[in-house]
Homo-oligomer: A and B are copies of this chain.
Amino acid sequence: MNINGEMIIGASIVRGAAGTVRAYNPGTKQELEPAFGLATSDDLARACLLADAAVEPYRALSLEERANFLETIAQRIIDLGPALIERASQESGLPTARLEGERGRTVGQLRLFAKVVRDGLFLEATLDSALPERTPPRADLRMRKIPVGPVAVFGASNFPLAFSVAGGDTASALAAGCPVVVKAHNAHLGTSELVGKAVLQAALDCGMPEGVFSLLIGEGNMIGGDLVSHPAIRAVGFTGSRAGGLALAQIASRRKEPIPVYAEMSSINPVYLLPGALATGGAALAGAFVDSLTMGVGQFCTNPGLVIGVAGPQLDAFRAAATAALQLKPAGTMLTAGIHAAYTDAVGIRAGIAGVTLVAHGSSDGAGCAAKAALYECDAATFLANPALEEEIFGPVSLLIACQDEHELLAVTRHLEGQLTATVHAVASDHALAGALLPLLERKVGRILFNGFPTGVEVAHAMVHGGPFPATTDPRSTSVGATAIERFLRPVCYQDVPAGLLPDALKDGNPLRIARLVNGELKLPA
């Protein structure tokens, strides 16, 4: 499939006429061919109106048709072959093996949502029988979830496939029965065009209503604001910076009819090294930590940006082993020139904060947008006194906090902002302290993990990739995993609706054969 600098509006492949923009190779610092046409405000309006027109026909399809559409998108992405990986690597600086893994995750995600759709559990079908003899009589009440309507999706810079055009937000919104309008991330325009055309092809293959999917190209902020402001859009999925997420949330809250924004924004993902774990395997921990810190040049939402331990010989040994490991790590190419510049600036500011010292850095600066990893350190008092040290720096940098004792470690924990993850390294002798940490962490984070590292987010039913502000704008939700579908649904109750007019999910006899809550009791299909 060729890359022509085009976008997708309903069933049409369109070249935007509001100027051009080019993708960029951060490894070579060269612009890439071709030029992409930018969407006009008419293009945007057309995509939104087509999405609105697709709401009724798309949600009226059977669950099987919806699931098949998701699986067909997955197959069409596979069919793009190595050209997709090659272009994504050029645009992101990410190695091909990583991108092949990400493609596997992306199609796995689409297939998981196909299964979720077929199961029908997401409909939360609920039936309460009429009680005509009761005083007062109870009506027949039935409830199901319906899609909220068109969803605007903003892809992330750091996952050109899994959090982009056909990533988790798009897959979960389409699974919920919502048409999607994606704004392509300008860091990977060619990748976006390829995947967008795969989605379009799948929509045509499956006879989907026009408007179920559109892909717009535009200069960042303006088209984003216009998209979130458009009356047809009913919810927003976003992965990116805190400033970007908050800006979209503000726009959404000032609409005539406010809409929810699911923004996954910023997290420094504390890693706790409890005393027993440090004593047992501190050196191995240091190596694994440095691998996690530098994986993907630190460009993960779940990058371990904070390491917390109790000062003493065992933490000293960890520091020494981490230093040795970090000094061997070569610089890596960051995703964009902007991200690289922001990283360099932020690390410079951190280095200048009184009380913060450099522990170690990676082996060298490289060519292009290459960034050197770094580990800094401060004591708990310095951390508690400097809110800037809680701000995420996107890239391979972390801060070690050496606490005086367990009491101070808990005080640092209570002070933390909301996070996507917290990690605890603990052996049996640490379980009393871990037990004291757990309830504090539960109130701060979306995912708690033991004896691992937070990078790597499994796509599963029990995954939570979310958390209290500023990790996200909505801690009741996750952007990864099966329950991400819940973000794009809302309940409707049907009272005494005649049998012939009821949706299938709520009909007597359970024709969809889904699990339903009947008079308060969960009933599985026979």
Contacts and interface: CB of A to CB of B under 8 A. Distances in A.
Interface of A: 55-56, 60, 115, 119, 121, 124, 126-128, 136, 138-139, 141-143, 146, 148-149, 249-250, 253, 257-258, 260, 417-418, 426, 431, 434-435, 438-439, 442-443, 445-452, 456, 458, 460-464, 466, 468-470, 473-476, 478, 482-483, 489-498, 500-501, 515, 517, 519-520, 522, 524
Given A431-B500, A463-B141, A473 B442 contact: no
B257 A468 contact: yes
Contacts of A520: 115, 119, 461, 482
Contacts of A500: 431
A21 to B, nearest CB: 32
Given A448-B492, A492-B446, A127 B462 contact: yes
Nearest to A522: B515
Contacts of A431: 498, 500-501
Given A449-B495, A478-B491, A493-B446, A439 B501 contact: no
Contacts of A524: 522, 524
Contacts of A493: 446-448, 462-464
Contact of A126 (B434, B462, B469): B462
User: What is the oligomeric copy number?
Assistant: 2
A524 B495 CA distance: 28
A491 B519 contact: no
Given A257-B469, A501-B431, A464 B451 contact: no
B253 A496 contact: no
Nearest to A423: B495
Contact of A463 (B115, B143, B149, B489): B143
Contact of A128 (B141, B435, B462): B462
A140 to B, nearest CB: 9
B495 A448 contact: yes
Contacts of A466: 490-491
B141 A462 contact: yes
A139 B449 contact: yes
Contacts of A501: 431, 434-435, 438, 450
A463 B492 CA distance: 8
A450 B495 contact: yes
Given A60-B439, A448-B494, A448-B495, 4 more contacts: A149-B443, A431-B501, A450-B496, A461-B520
A450 B494 CA distance: 8
A423 B121 CA distance: 28
A489 B475 CA distance: 9
B464 A491 contact: yes
A253 B249 CA distance: 9
Contacts of A142: 462
A55 B443 CA distance: 10
